[in-house]
Structure formats: C-alpha cells, structure tokens
Amino acid sequence: MGKVIIILLGIVFVAAGGFFIYLWQGPVLAFIEAMFALSLVMIGLGLLAFGISEIRSAAEERRLAAEVEATPPPPPVSPAAPEKKAE
C-alpha cells in the first residue's frame, strides 16, 4: 500500500510542478538563465584557480630541479673500504 501512495504522490508532484512551471514561465526562465550564468562564473573561477596552481607547481618543479643540479653528488663509496663500526 505504501508503494502505491508513493507513486501517486510522485504523479501529483510532477503534475503540480508542471502546472507551476507553466504558470510562472517568466520567473522560471529567469531562474534558469541566472543559474546558467552563475554556473559559468563558478566554472571559470575553478579553471582560473587550477591554472594558477599548475603554473606555480611548474615553477616550483623548475626551482627544485635547478637546486638538485647545483648540489654536488655525494662522493662514491668504495666497496673495498672497510666500514667503521660504532664503538
């Protein structure tokens, strides 16, 4: 019985929503247009932040690579050299 009531309520809400969309076409279209514009702004801000982050990351990688190149390599360890034991 509960499933039938849920289905009937779903039909009633879909019909009421369609009726109110028809009744308030202007405000509904204005809302959809505003949501579209706001979505574009939000996506643009996200892409801008991502792009700036990528540029900073690339600059940091270049800085670290230059730092590694400037650091002299450690001296080679001879396999014949005896290891010092801690006393």
Q: Where are the domains of the chain?
A: 25-70
8-state DSSP, 1? -
Please determine, for residue 84, whether its predicted confidence score (pLDDT) is greater than 80. Answer: no
Q: Of how many residues is the chain composed? A: 87
pLDDT of residue 81: 60
pLDDT of residue 12: 97
Q: pLDDT category, 76, cuts 50, 70, 90?
A: confident
Model pTM? 0.59
pLDDT digits (tens, 9 = 90+) for 12-31: 999 999 999 999 999 999 99
Average pLDDT over residues 41-67: 94
Residue 28, C-beta contacts closer than 8 angstroms, at least 6 positions apart: 21
| Cα 25 to Cα 15, 16, 34, 54, distances in angstroms | 15, 14, 14, 43
